[in-house]
Amino acid sequence: MRNPKLARMVDAEKALGARDRLTAHLMTVDPKERRKDRILGILGGLAFNLLLIGALAVIWLRWRGVV
């Protein structure tokens, strides 16, 4: 909005309203909760992959006649 040519294209009320809504939303975001969710997501994916690898190993062992 500081550029004179672009300032004529921007509706100041809408821009300030959008800024206020964005600020209000960002104030509700808890960094600790996001970090916890990210870690739990990684651990969940890791657990799923380990279960899948274990199941594939059992299938392969049965196919080879070991188990």
Range of the domain at 36: 4-64
Domain count, the chain: 1
pTM score above 0.85: no
Q: Which two tokens stand for residue 38?
A: 């990210």
Question: For the segment 9-18, what is each residue's pLDDT rounded down to a tens digit?
Answer: 988 899 999 9
* Cα distance between residue 38 and residue 58, in whole Å: 31
* Cα distance between residue 48 and residue 67, in whole Å: 23
* Cα distance between residue 9 and residue 59, in whole Å: 64
pLDDT-based confidence at residue 7 (cuts at 50, 70, 90):
confident
